[in-house]
Amino acid sequence: MKPYRDKDNQVRAVLFDVDGTLADTERDGHRLAFNAAFGEFDLDWEWNVELYGELLAITGGKERIRHYMEKYAAAELGRSGLDSWIAGLHKAKTRHYVALLERGETPLRPGVARLIRELRDAGIKIAIATTTTPENVSSLLKSTLGEDSPGWFDVIGAGDIVAGKKPDPDIYHWVLEQLGLPAKHCIAVEDSENGLRASLAAGLDTVITVNDYTRLQDFTGAAAILSDLGEPAQPFTVLGGTTHGSKWVNAELLMKLKT
Ligand code: XBP
Ligand code: MG
């Protein structure tokens, strides 16, 4: 049998989701920033932890605000210039979120920094495929991996750059096109069912690392479902799939997880 390195489908790039995957940003990050923006706009809206979990079904901050209004604040939908009002509210939210990240209290999840460094050392490309706003990605990377870290990524696909947000596969198609690689040479890392639907629809094998908002979701089709990426001193827990005896995710395991 040929060693895995000779496989035609060897991993040449790893595509990372951001929120919930690189860091636990939703509950104590985005949610608080939305609420701060609502306060700034004199709205009495308050997204508590449970409600926010429900609202996460809608990806994209502007889309999430509109969905909330349709369901819980329909009277506000009659505002003139609704689209630009939502955009302004979301801009304030992004400002609050970036300020929160700059306080440096949002760490990367276990194994993320290690894996990113190992992939770079191995000459494997790394990319971002997210629905969140570009400023948020660069702030998170800078506050955790250092000022120059956004430049480590061969492609950063974020926000409104494509029309359809996850679970549509558009952002993954866009990133693959920018990388100049077919899906068979890439693998995605995601945390949510919406993310998995998007990556699978783009033809990508996908590793899931769950978090408190996503652990009960349907991850049918994932290559592996893990508690996190794991570290040598802090192995992951396997929740689904096989990890070939590995205890943390590295380039070698990602090669094996490719179909
Ligand atoms: C997660 C999202 C985002 C964030 C909010 O994206 O759905 O909408 O919750 O970010 P992913 P914005 O997991 O794909 O990174 O307010 O900037 O949209
Ligand atoms: Mg996510």
Residue 249: is its pLDDT beyond 80?
Answer: yes
pLDDT score recorded for residue 191 = 98
Mean pLDDT of the region 134-153: 98
Strand, helix or coil for residue 112 = helix
With a 6 Å cutoff on the Cβ, whether 128 touches ligand 1 is: no
Question: Is the Cα torsion angle 62, 63, 65, 70 positive or negative in sign?
Answer: positive
Mean pLDDT of the region 121-126: 98
**Each residue of 74-115: pLDDT tens digit?**
999 999 999 999 999 999 999 999 999 999 999 999 999 999
What is the domain partition of the chain in residue ranges? Answer: 13-24+108-257, 27-102
Let me know the angle formed at the C-alpha of 28 by 200 and 149, rounded to the nearest 5 degrees: 65
Q: Could you confirm whether 19 is annotated as catalytic? A: yes
Mean pLDDT of the region 218-240: 98
Q: What percent of the chain has pLDDT over 70?
A: 97
Let me know the angle formed at the C-alpha of 166 by 71 and 136, rounded to the nearest 5 degrees: 90
Average pLDDT over the chain, rounded to an integer: 96
Give the architecture-level CATH label for domain 27-102. Orthogonal Bundle (1.10)
**Distance, CA 210 to ligand 2 centroid (Å)?**
9
28 DSSP 8-state letter:
I
Between CA 243 and CA 225 the distance in angstroms is 9
Whose structure tokens read 């932890």?
49
User: Ligand 1 pocket test: which of 28, 59, 153 has the largest number of ligand atoms within 8 Å of its C-beta?
Assistant: 59
The yes/no answer on whether domain 13-24+108-257 falls in CATH 3.40.50.1000 is yes
Mean pLDDT of the region 242-251: 96
Q: Which ligand is nearest to the Cα of residue 66, counting in written order?
A: 1
Q: Which of 6, 17, 28, 148 is catalytic?
A: 17
Q: Could you confirm whether 121 is annotated as catalytic? A: no
If pLDDT is split at 50, 70 and 90, which confidence band does 259 have? confident
pLDDT score recorded for residue 7 = 59
If pLDDT is split at 50, 70 and 90, which confidence band does 3 have? very low
User: Ligand 1 pocket test: which of 90, 95, 132 has the largest number of ligand atoms within 8 Å of its C-beta?
Assistant: 132
**Each residue of 26-84: pLDDT tens digit?**
999 999 999 999 999 999 999 999 999 999 999 999 999 999 999 999 999 999 999 99
If pLDDT is split at 50, 70 and 90, which confidence band does 2 have? very low
**Distance, CA 131 to ligand 2 centroid (Å)?**
8
